[in-house]
Amino acid sequence: MDKQTRKGPLHNMNDSYQMPIQIESDENGLIDRECPNENCLFTFKIDLHDWENKVVGHHMRCPRCGLVAPYDKWWTQGQLAVLNANIKSFALGLVHDELNSTFRQLERQTQRNKYVRISYKPSSRPLYANLPISQTDAWETEITCDECGTRFSIIGNAYFCPCCGKDLSTNAIQDSLTSYRRRIDDLQKVHDIFKQDFSSEEAEKQVESIREDTLGSIVGTFESFCKARYAELGGANAKRGVFQRLRDGDDLFDELTGFRYEHRIGDDGLDFMNLMFNRRHLITHSNGIVDEQYLRKTGDTLYAAGQRVIVRNADLLKLLDFIQEAVNGLLDAKPKESPTT
């Protein structure tokens, strides 16, 4: 797809001045956008035609954090830098023209004045360089929303359509699980890199922190997927956090579809998932310190109260295997047929 260029007014000042801006798409016809949420700042691309025809004049949702904001709040930092430079150049030209007009008028008015005479030699007008708003190079991952048809591109994971806001968790789950596997496989390389600048002990602490963060991300991703899949299947009014509680979520899907996680992963698989989900809860809320409640919920025989749980690569990969099977089962599940009367 060829690059595309759009021109349009940036701002109208006192109904007198307009500064045109030029927006050039990348080679795939997409333009860069950035989430205005300071805690996110996720950068993504959206089709220029979709932007003009579906988004302009409306609100847009961040594909990563879900923030909803007016369409004109999504400039990237690089684009804002170009815009500010263009505005400054444009404003200097306006000021120059106004000063020239004013002093030329004074020069004419004082030509016959025998007391005061003003002469004026205009300077060169500042060069107005209206730089186009260009985009970064095209990215590999491209998504088309099956709800509204909006085409956009991301690096990493996307959970919402930027145009219609549809929850895309079920679309993103496979890419997410694959990325977690890559992250775990690369931990030894990460450890070696840390050792170049830190002690072996500090390097291991950093890698341990990554493992724990990865466990939290895996649990959060599965929860988001289950929430979105439950809604897709026609479920309603699921309580907040219910899909973090595996057995409660299992019961909901059973009631709606007749599918249970155990159908794919067995009781042992569900017990292991429950164990890892509760370890994640300990790490998040109790710095990983084991308590009696955790032991009652999980039956974990590896730890005693007061110890700290350790997240291992093998445990994360095993958890991903079970989650992958549960996800496949949920994607195949269908709502129960209503009984005929």
Residue 110: CB partners within 8 Å, gap ≥ 6? 116, 117, 118
- What's the pLDDT score for residue 11? 44
Can you read off the two tokens belonging to residue 260? Answer: 């249970």
Kindly tell me if the per-residue pLDDT of 159 is higher than 50. yes
The single-letter code of the amino acid at 254 is D
What average pLDDT does this structure show over 272-290?
96
Helices (H), 18-76: 48-50
In order of 109, 122, 126, the CA distances from 100 in angstroms are 14, 6, 12
Report the SS3 class of residue 121.
coil
Region of 15 on the Ramachandran plot (φ > 0 left; ψ -120 to 50 alpha; else beta): left
Give the pLDDT of residue 248: 96
Q: Which of 90, 91, 41, 80 is nearest to 62 (CA)?
A: 41
Please answer whether residues 260 and 253 qualify as being in contact, where contact means their C-beta atoms are separated by less than 8 angstroms.
Answer: yes
Task: Reply yes or no on whether the pLDDT at 10 is more than 70.
Answer: no
Of these ranges, 26-35, 132-141, 146-155, 307-316, the one predicted with the greatest mean pLDDT is: 307-316
Cα 235 versus chain centre, distance: 26
Half-sphere exposure of 311 (CA within 13 A, CB side): 31
Beta strands 151-153 and 142-144 are antiparallel
Kindly state the average pLDDT of the residues 81-99: 77
- Which contacts (CB < 8 Å, 24+ apart) does range 311-318 have? 311/208, 311/211, 311/212, 311/214, 311/215, 311/279, 311/283, 312/211, 313/184, 313/187, 313/211, 315/276, 316/180, 316/184, 316/211, 316/214, 316/215, 316/218, 317/181, 317/184, 318/272
Q: What does the pLDDT look like over 163-200, one tens digit per residue?
A: 999 988 887 888 889 889 999 999 999 988 988 888 88
Percent of the chain at pLDDT above 90? Answer: 55
The crossing angle, in degrees rounded to 10, of helices 200-232 and 262-286 is: 130
Radius of gyration of the chain (CA): 29
Quote the pLDDT of residue 9: 44
pLDDT tens digits, residue range 132-143? Answer: 666 777 777 788
DSSP 8-class letter at 124: P
Model confidence at 316, pLDDT cuts 50, 70, 90, reads: very high
Contact 131, 24 (CB under 8 A): no
Backbone angles phi, psi at 5, to 5 degrees: -125, 135
How far apart CA 145 and CA 134 sit, in angstroms, is 25
pLDDT at 7 over 60: no
pTM for this prediction: 0.66
Please state which of the ranges 67-71, 198-202, 263-267, 325-329 shows the lowest mean pLDDT. 198-202
Instruction: Pick from 21-35, 69-83, 117-131, 247-261 the range whose average pLDDT is largest.
Output: 247-261
Q: Which of 10-19, 193-202, 282-291 has the lowest mean pLDDT?
A: 10-19
279 Cβ partners below 8 Å, 6+ apart? 215, 288, 309, 311
Q: What is the DSSP letter of 22?
A: E
